[in-house]
């Protein structure tokens, strides 16, 4: 599962619980503020990210929990200045949720889109 699949699936599954807490898909930033190729789910109440690598920074362990409970070795990677809101991916997650699908892959399968075939 890709980080985007995981972020969208988490948005869909947590929306009702987190809707008052600004649920969104975000893109991780490296320390100098440049975007990475990693997206994850974030609300004011909950963060979910699969394990990922950032060039010279190395591998970042997965995280699944409250923003205030992040371990000291991960806190800088999920700080408020280390992500940007991805409105397109958040809108896609909302479209999928409102369409009644429970996962990113089920939505695209129903639409006849097969990413593995391309």
The alpha-helical segments, DSSP class H, found in the chain are 3-18, 87-98, 104-110
CA distance 54 to 51: 10
The pLDDT profile of the chain, 118 residues, written as one tens digit per residue, is: 789 999 999 999 999 999 999 999 999 988 888 898 999 999 999 999 998 876 666 778 889 999 989 888 788 888 888 999 999 999 999 999 999 999 998 998 888 876 554 4
What would the two tokens of residue 90 be? 């958040």
CA angle 37, 47, 36 (to 5 degrees): 15
pTM (2 d.p.): 0.89
């Amino acid at each position: 599962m890709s980080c985007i699949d995981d972020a969208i699936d988490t948005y869909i599954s947590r929306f009702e619980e987190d809707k008052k807490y600004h649920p969104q898909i975000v893109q991780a930033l490296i320390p100098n503020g440049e975007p990475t190729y990693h997206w994850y789910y974030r609300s004011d109440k909950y963060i979910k990210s699969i394990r990922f690598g950032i060039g010279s920074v190395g591998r970042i362990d997965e995280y699944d929990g409250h923003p205030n409970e992040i371990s000291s070795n991960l806190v800088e990677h999920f700080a408020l200045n280390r992500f940007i809101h991805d409105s397109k991916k958040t809108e896609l997650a909302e479209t999928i949720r409102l369409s009644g699908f429970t996962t990113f892959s089920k939505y695209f399968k129903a639409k006849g889109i097969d990413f593995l075939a391309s």
